[in-house]
Amino acid sequence: MTEPKLNTPLISASSRKLPDFKNSIKLKYVKLGYHYLISHGMYLFLSPLVVIFAVQLSTFSIQDLYDLWNNLQYNLISVILSSTLLVFLSTIYFLTRPSPVYLVDFSCYKPDEPRRCTKKKFMDQSRIIDTFTEENLEFQRKILERSGLGDSTYLPEAVLNVPPNPSMKEARKEAEAVMFGAIDELLAKTSVKPKDIGILVVNCSLFNPTPSLSAMIINHYKLRGNIASYNLGGMGCSAGLISIDLAKNLLQVHPNSYALVVSMENITLNWYFGNDRSKLVSNCLFRMGGAAIILSNKCSERRRSKYRLVDTVRTHKGADDKCFSCITQEEDSNGKIGVSLSKELMAVAGVALKTNITTLGPLVLPMSEQLLFFATLVGRKLFKMKVKPYIPDFKLAFEHFCIHAGGRAVLDELEKNLQLSDWHMEPSRMTLYRFGNTSSSSLWYELAYTEAKGRVKKGDRLWQIAFGSGFKCNSAVWKALRTIKPEKEKNPWMHEIDRFPVDVPKVSAI
């Protein structure tokens, strides 16, 4: 396999941008969104009846109510049948409706100062270990300069050592530091006892030891023996939202429970020491980090919880071969393992994103936006009218956006396609700058940034969206149950939030 020239772009110009959503929306995904809405929408049927009954009741006078009572006294059978029907329908409704899922609190791991890695230190380390060619050292430098990462990201000890000493022992050491650090802080914040946790979901794509990461947590915190434990691997940067969706479904069948979700990635054993450029990009972007989240379906937890989970939408494009193979962990020609990023990655991400947001639209957009969108879509698709497609304004559905900080190019294209402002993109861009791409946990660093800025008010709606290998794109929608006061928060941004936002130049010379 010949090495590409230094000046040859890793991703072709046509594949570097997301597809234009305006010209490629498919009706079937809109229909899927409405199917989700109706299948979970029994309240839509009952709400108009309740409103009509309330309006009619408001017109009654005292005499009307007295006359109604007298009439009912002589129609005992009708009263019994009506009451029985009402009780029956109410019972069905309360038994079939999903239990509300609350996000009690979450925490993000902030590594110790010795783990900090500036871009210059990254390049010095890469040069010292003497495994990369001069051309590929220059290639990594150019990627770093344009990556959007700052000089305060973190790498594990095994990678920063000279020479690096990646091993199973060091990988476990990194995993323990990240997982236990995030969980310790979370348990202290919530005062939840480890024995009260009934569900555990852990996700880490590239490090899956035996015993599993979930078993390591159970052993360390002495969790109870009947805990429902799950360990998700190989699911990419969107696995954090898959874990949330899995925990949500488990909470529907385990009443009065707490669910602990841990999202992380492991760098130690997945640092690439070869010279395949498609695998070197991961070295430049991915950094150390993790998050822990506690969810609950307990009614008593609503008062102190931060958010209620409104909806999750999952999209999987793995049936398409190009989508399936665009991110692959494999060996290079010299037998060194790394994660290869296809030139078609941006195009594949665009297709998955388009499907996901088109399905999500009917669930979250206000009716005015849905009517305009649906009318233009039907006109174009069914009546072949030459009208400009209407792209719904998602800013009317959400106050805050947490878009996975996978890289600068993706954030730029999403900002353009969804017509978002710099203010909306700020949490994602600052997370990429301060912590790098921390894989599935990046969404929680972004939410922590939003909270630290004091932006979250009661009733605000939040959209988390991420994508990952396979290829997948997943969304979660949250509603704030209370106003978040920054002075009462403990998260990795708190001691430095006043420095942000910072200006991130297109090219930051090393």
The pLDDT confidence band at residue 11, using thresholds 50, 70 and 90, is very low
Judged against a pLDDT cut of 70, whether residue 50 lies above it is answered with no
Judged against a pLDDT cut of 80, whether residue 67 lies above it is answered with no
Q: How far apart are the first and last CA of the chain?
A: 30
Cα within 13 Å of Cα(507), Cβ side:
3
Residue among 316, 326, 356, 474 flagged as catalytic: 316
Lowest mean pLDDT among 60-64, 76-80, 198-202, 481-485: 76-80
The answer to whether residue 237 is catalytic is: yes
- Strand-pair category, 228-232 with 197-203: parallel
Predicted confidence at residue 13, as pLDDT, reads 41
Mapping DSSP to helix (H, G, I), strand (E, B) and coil, where does residue 374 land? helix
Predicted confidence at residue 31, as pLDDT, reads 52
The pLDDT confidence band at residue 1, using thresholds 50, 70 and 90, is very low
Predicted confidence at residue 416, as pLDDT, reads 87
Region 113-132: mean pLDDT is: 93
**CA dist 300 → 93, 98, 108, 256, 304 (Å):** 21, 17, 25, 9, 8
Judged against a pLDDT cut of 80, whether residue 23 lies above it is answered with no
Residue among 266, 275, 437, 491 flagged as catalytic: 437
Predicted confidence at residue 470, as pLDDT, reads 87
pTM of the model: 0.84
Phi/psi at 31 (5° precision): -60, -40
The pLDDT confidence band at residue 121, using thresholds 50, 70 and 90, is very high
pLDDT in tens, 336-366: 999 998 888 888 888 898 888 888 888 888 8
Q: Share the mean pLDDT of the chain.
A: 87
The pLDDT confidence band at residue 6, using thresholds 50, 70 and 90, is very low
Greatest Cα pair distance in the chain: 97
pLDDT in tens, 189-247: 999 999 999 999 999 999 999 999 999 999 999 999 999 999 999 999 999 999 999 99
Residue from 443, 414, 415 nearest 431 by CA:
443
The answer to whether residue 400 is catalytic is: yes
Chain position carrying tokens 């998602």: 394
Predicted confidence at residue 372, as pLDDT, reads 75
pLDDT in tens, 411-447: 998 898 888 999 999 999 999 999 999 999 999 999 9
Predicted confidence at residue 43, as pLDDT, reads 53
Percent of the chain past pLDDT 70, that is, above it, reads 84
Q: Which residues of 475-486 are buried (b: 16+ CB within 10 A; e: fewer)?
A: bbbbbbbeebee
Residue 337 forms beta bridges with which residues? 331
- Strand-pair category, 258-264 with 197-203: parallel
Predicted confidence at residue 68, as pLDDT, reads 66
Predicted confidence at residue 413, as pLDDT, reads 87
Tell whether omega for the bond before 435 is within 30 degrees of 0, i.e. cis. Answer: no
CATH class of 102-499: alpha beta
The answer to whether residue 71 is catalytic is: no
The pLDDT confidence band at residue 83, using thresholds 50, 70 and 90, is confident
Predicted confidence at residue 169, as pLDDT, reads 96
Residue among 231, 270, 404, 473 flagged as catalytic: 404
pLDDT in tens, 281-299: 999 999 999 999 999 999 9
Region 486-497: mean pLDDT is: 94
Rounded distance, CA 140 to CA 134, Å?
10
Predicted confidence at residue 243, as pLDDT, reads 98
Cα-based angle 317, 319, 321 (whole degrees, multiple of 5): 95
Residue among 117, 204, 237, 323 flagged as catalytic: 237
pLDDT in tens, 155-198: 999 999 989 999 999 999 999 999 999 999 999 999 999 999 99
The answer to whether residue 404 is catalytic is: yes
Residue 329: both structure tokens together: 């962990």
Name 55's Cβ contacts closer than 8 Å, sequence gap at least 6: none
Judged against a pLDDT cut of 80, whether residue 152 lies above it is answered with yes
pLDDT in tens, 371-424: 777 777 777 767 777 766 666 788 888 999 999 998 998 899 889 888 899 999
The pLDDT confidence band at residue 65, using thresholds 50, 70 and 90, is low
Domain extent listing, the chain = 102-499
Residue among 117, 270, 284, 400 flagged as catalytic: 400
Predicted confidence at residue 81, as pLDDT, reads 73
Predicted confidence at residue 213, as pLDDT, reads 97
Predicted confidence at residue 443, as pLDDT, reads 97
The pLDDT confidence band at residue 7, using thresholds 50, 70 and 90, is very low
The answer to whether residue 35 is catalytic is: no
